[in-house]
């Protein structure tokens, strides 16, 4: 509270009637009431400060309701000590009056989210003669491969889509071996991202050795995997499959398509001794990263350079929150006819209807076929809640519309023609 100036107005700007100690002494009942309010305020301050000496309950508070905390207290009229009065109309407690328990409870609302994982998948041969796609869904990666003794706080779930080309062997090999190599990697329990990155290249080299023993395996595949451990989502991509996260209905792309038209990929290719011809890597492949394809001359090298066709994945991480609804992993046949946002909107509507992930994947693929995609189709969906996505209230902004002078003249001419 501000001090009073000569005109009877507080320095803070609040008007009050002139009052001094002489006036108070002439009115014993008013002074007594004011002293009681002061004692009550001091008692509350002592509670906050933990002053046991001042914790005695004032007599005025016995058998009575607590007074209005916004009541006035003009302590300078009694002992010249000023006490700040709360601003009328506010309901916000100052941070100094909040207990540590209250602060922790508020913080835990944002940090205590833990995803409830459920998944579904669907595949279709589409317009191709052969099915070359593969996929995998593993709820507990370590337990599946006999490594349950690993001391991780949360199980590691693993999902992947592999889009083969030149045959199905590479896609099936990567599906069957990549998850195992991730678990067996020494960094699995310490640095999961490092383990995933290394396992991609190790799987590629292992497939090269398998192709030497059995030439019929020669083929290639793109690979996109998603690992969920607690609140951490880690997506690794090599090729043109795509992962899209729905965050309150907004599409968040968790991968980038690796195609020769990408400037960054073109620079890497040319630095590795390759080239881009008519939109194709070395005039042969329309992807710039893939596992396999060791049989194509000039694509890969077991040496340090690695060659223009890279098996190293591009990795993106996200910390999941309650706003993150589900993840769509799809082969490129889906993304030929769906934009990322279009796929999220479609999946949200279907999940709100039936909340069944496998049915939703099937409907997504059926819709892609209706839109005349010609490739193999595979979709894997991972949901982070047991409930369907909520309906979102969309605020449509009011747009002030205007018409140009030329448009106004055209409209006037049209209206004049109607009169004739």
What pLDDT digit, counting tens, does each position of 289-299 carry? 999 999 999 99
With CA atoms as reference, report the closest residue to 339 among 319, 313, 311, 367: 367
What total number of domains does the chain contain? 2
- Residue 418: inside a domain: no
| pLDDT, mean over the chain | 81
CA 11 to chain CA mean position, Å: 49
pTM score of the predicted model: 0.69
More confident residue, 3 or 199: 199
Tell me which residue has tokens 């799987």: 203
* pLDDT tens digits, 249-307: 999 999 999 999 999 999 999 999 999 999 999 999 999 999 999 999 999 987 766 89
- Residue 401: inside a domain: no
Residues 204, 331: one domain?
A: yes
Q: Say what percent of the chain tops pLDDT 90.
A: 62
- Of 109, 127, 160, the position where a domain reaches its end is 109
- What region does 224 belong to: left with phi over 0, alpha with psi -120 to 50, or beta? beta
Question: Mean per-residue pLDDT for 299-324?
Answer: 91
pLDDT at 211 over 70: yes
More confident residue, 84 or 125: 125
Tokens of 312: 């190293």
**What's the CA gap between 199 and 313, in Å, rounded?**
10
- Residue 164: inside a domain: yes
* pLDDT tens digits, 166-201: 999 999 999 999 999 999 999 998 899 999 999 999
Residues 265, 238: one domain?
A: yes
Which residues are within 8 A (CB) of 158 and not within 5 positions of it... i.e. 6 or more apart? 136, 137, 138, 141, 179, 182, 225, 226, 227
Which residues are within 8 A (CB) of 171 and not within 5 positions of it... i.e. 6 or more apart? 132, 133, 134, 162, 163, 164, 219, 221
| Domain that includes residue 68, residue range | 21-109
Residues 216, 327: one domain?
A: yes
The DSSP 8-state label assigned to residue 224 in this structure reads E
pLDDT at site 399: 65
């Amino acid at each position: 509270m501000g001090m009073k100036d000569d005109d009877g107005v507080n320095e803070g700007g609040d008007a009050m009637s002139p009052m001094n100690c002489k006036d108070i002494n002439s009115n014993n009942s008013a002074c007594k009431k004011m002293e009681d309010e002061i004692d009550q305020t001091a008692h509350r301050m002592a509670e906050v400060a933990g002053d046991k000496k001042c914790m005695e309950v004032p007599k005025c508070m016995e058998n009575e309701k607590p007074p209005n905390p916004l009541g006035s207290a003009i302590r300078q009229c009694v002992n010249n000590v000023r006490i700040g009065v709360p601003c009328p109309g506010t309901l916000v407690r100052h941070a100094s009056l909040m207990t540590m328990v209250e602060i922790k409870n508020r913080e835990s609302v944002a940090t205590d989210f833990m995803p409830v994982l459920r998944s579904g998948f669907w595949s279709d041969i589409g317009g191709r003669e052969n099915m070359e796609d593969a996929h995998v869904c593993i709820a507990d990666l370590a337990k599946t491969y006999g490594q349950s003794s690993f001391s991780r706080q949360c199980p590691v779930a693993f999902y992947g889509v592999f889009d083969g080309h030149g045959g199905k062997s590479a896609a099936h090999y990567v599906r069957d071996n990549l998850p195992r190599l991730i678990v067996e990697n020494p960094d699995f329990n310490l640095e999961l991202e490092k383990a995933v990155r290394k396992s991609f290249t190790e799987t590629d080299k292992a497939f090269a050795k398998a192709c030497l023993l059995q030439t019929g395996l020669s083929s290639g595949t793109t690979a996109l995997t998603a690992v969920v451990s607690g609140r951490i989502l880690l997506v690794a991509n090599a090729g043109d499959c795509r992962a899209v996260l729905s965050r309150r209905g907004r599409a968040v792309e968790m991968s980038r398509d690796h195609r020769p038209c990408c400037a960054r990929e073109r620079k890497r290719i040319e630095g590795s001794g390759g080239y881009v011809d008519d939109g194709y890597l070395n005039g042969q492949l329309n992807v710039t990263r893939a596992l396999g394809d060791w049989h194509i001359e000039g694509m890969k090298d077991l040496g340090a350079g690695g060659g223009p066709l890279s098996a190293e994945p591009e990795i993106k991480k996200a910390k999941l929150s309650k706003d993150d609804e589900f993840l769509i992993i799809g082969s490129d046949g889906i993304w030929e006819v769906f934009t990322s946002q279009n796929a999220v909107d479609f999946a949200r509507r279907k999940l709100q209807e039936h909340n069944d992930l496998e049915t939703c994947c099937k409907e997504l693929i059926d819709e892609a076929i209706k839109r005349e995609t010609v490739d193999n189709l595979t979709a894997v969906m991972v949901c982070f809640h047991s409930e369907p996505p909520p309906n979102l209230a969309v605020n449509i902004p009011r747009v002030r519309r205007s018409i140009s002078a030329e448009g106004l003249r055209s409209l006037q001419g049209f209206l004049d023609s109607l009169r004739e």
